[in-house]
Structure 1
Amino acid sequence: MGEDQDVSVYDVDSSDPQQILIDRTGMAAPDIRQISELMAALGQLREAEEHLSEASRRYMRLNETDMRALHYLIVCAHQNFIATPGGISHHLRISSASTTKLLDRLERGGHIIRAPHPTDRRALAISITPETHQAAMETVGRQQAKRFYAAARLTPAERDVVIRFVRDMAQEIAPGDEPWAQPTEE
């Protein structure tokens, strides 16, 4: 195979030729090819999402956790829900100490506002600044929203199949009790 030829890293026969991971006994070759094509399409989606995420982080000059926090704050604002440090910590699955560092960084960058919570004197209300909200919506938000059109082009029955497939795949690959999948201490 030449240097400039594309290697299909998602082809099951190439990734697992001895069937150590996936027993394909009794499966027809066209089915295996179609599943490999589906895996390649998912890989293309993941690569497009990673490229978009990287570009948006570069544009906003923020890291991935910062961007996820801002997205959470945007959704909270749209739902008239008061975001708190505890809610952010829970959503991002990070410690209170990491959340404090995150909020300090975002506040220094002019991305968030900390204010007293309107009903809980012990809590803070965290909101995204109007400037950051607008910048995020006009850049990464607008690009991410384009996914809606791909879904809208499907029939309701096709969307049901895709929903079932994506949820099933997420459940299949979600790490369980495997020692290598356990979180490490911060």
Structure 2
Amino acid sequence: MVANPWIPGSERDAVVMSALEAIRAFSDSLDRMYAGMRGDMDMNTTDLAALRMLIIREQHGEVVKPNDLATHLAISTASTTKLLDRLTAAGYLVRKPHPHDRRARIVALTDEARVTFRRHFGERLQRMRDAADAYTDEELRAIVRFLADIERAMLPA
């Protein structure tokens, strides 16, 4: 007889299942938040994902080339061009010369994009930071390691 993988057979199974359920609930809350932002900002899922990627890369001091966006979003170069045209026309990004390679171009957020994102996400980000304050540095490092492991586990084999 094969045990039902959805019914915990031990305390460890119950804890693992609880962690995975928490990830699902967190993912659902992100989906709801991003759906609201997409509606408020009048953009599709890919457009919002592109802006999120640009914000994160900007925070790390990294430049983003159109091909970086295409790879991150798993879309064709033609779709990337359309996405860039849409977001440029909406005032969310600009195309600029690469700072170190004059043959290449990069894409960057506009001040309008930053202000809009801050307006939609700033309060939530502060509440998330407040929630993180309840954890020790060691606990947060364990959470980061766990989420990174889960992210890798979700990649295609």
Q: TM-score w.r.t. structure 1 length?
A: 0.68
Distance 1:142 1:65, change over 3 A: farther
The sequence identity of aligned pairs, in percent, is 29
Of 113, 120, 123, the match for 2:104: 123
TM-superposed CA distance for 1:100, in Å, is 0.6
Of 127, 147, 159, the match for 2:128: 147
Count of aligned positions: 157
TM-superposed CA distance for 1:41, in Å, is 2.1
The CA deviation string for residues 70-129 of structure 1, in whole angstroms up to 9 with x for no partner, is 123333444554332123223323222121111011122222222344543432232222
1:109 is the counterpart of 2:93: no
**Residue in 2 aligned with 1:72?**
53
Distance 1:19 1:169, change over 3 A: farther
Which segment is superposed worse, 137-146 or 93-102? 137-146
Distance 1:100 1:49, change over 3 A: same
1:48 is the counterpart of 2:29: yes
TM-superposed CA distance for 1:23, in Å, is 9.3
**Residue in 2 aligned with 1:58?**
39
Q: TM-score w.r.t. structure 2 length?
A: 0.78
Gaps of 5+ in 2: none
Amino acid at match of 2:138: A
SS in 1 for 2:70: helix
Distance in 2, Cα, partners of 1:107 & 1:48? 29
Gaps of 5+ in 1: 1-17, 177-186
Amino acid at match of 1:128: L
Distance in 1, Cα, partners of 2:144 & 2:61? 28
TM-superposed CA distance for 1:172, in Å, is 3.4
TM-superposed CA distance for 1:157, in Å, is 3.1
**Between Structure 1 and Structure 2, which shows a larger proportion of helix residues?**
2
Matches within 5 A, 1:164-175: 164-175=145-156
Amino acid at match of 2:3: Q
Determine which structure has more spread, i.e. the larger CA radius of gyration.
1
The CA deviation string for residues 25-78 of structure 1, in whole angstroms up to 9 with x for no partner, is xx43x4444443333322221111110111111111111211121123333444
**Residue in 1 aligned with 2:75?**
94
**Residue in 2 aligned with 1:133?**
114
**Residue in 2 aligned with 1:157?**
138
Distance in 1, Cα, partners of 2:140 & 2:73? 28
**Residue in 2 aligned with 1:19?**
3
